[in-house]
Amino acid sequence: MNADTNSNRNQRIEGLRCELCHRVVPERMTSVHHLRPRSHGGGPENEAVLCKMCHSFLHATFTNRTLAESFDSVEALREDPEVRKFLKWVRKQKPHRSINVDRRSEKR
Ligand SMILES: [Zn+2]
Ligand SMILES: [Zn+2]
């Protein structure tokens, strides 16, 4: 399957691929998430380009501490049941849409 060769030019989305949900979103809709903060010895290899929705989901669901201690890789994030549920949903959303991910008040 090679979708690129036959793709309709009007429908092509220029952008970056979110490392978590793998959707291609416009660059302005992406931001860099620090899987491991610099203060915890993180470097460029511990950064992930995420779409805004994934990024806001992570910070609405987990505290920075949980993220740094339990989720220092995209693979680790994908193994979390709550993240999986979110990914299933977010993949059905239009790439250029940004929905405010308003989550629980209690973070993990
Ligand atoms: Zn994403
Ligand atoms: Zn972040």
Cα of 38 from ligand 1 centre, angstroms: 22
Pick the ligand that lies closest to the CA of residue 78: 1
Q: What is the pLDDT of residue 88?
A: 97
Q: Return the sign of the alpha-carbon dihedral for residues 91, 94, 97, 102.
A: negative
Please say whether the beta carbons of 69 and 63 come within 8 A.
Answer: no
Instruction: Kindly report whether the global pTM for this prediction surpasses the value 0.85.
Output: no
Q: What is the pLDDT of residue 44?
A: 84
Give helix then strand counts, H and E, for the chain: 4, 4
Residue spans per domain, the chain: 14-90
Residue-by-residue pLDDT tens, the chain, 108 positions: 544 554 455 556 579 999 999 999 999 999 999 998 777 788 888 899 999 999 999 999 999 999 988 999 999 999 999 999 999 999 999 887 777 766 666 788
Cα of 32 from ligand 2 centre, angstroms: 7
CA distance 45 to 73: 10
Write the class of the CATH domain 14-90.
Answer: mainly alpha
CA distance 4 to 12: 9
Q: What is the pLDDT of residue 43?
A: 85
**In this structure, what token pair is assigned to residue 47?**
């950064």
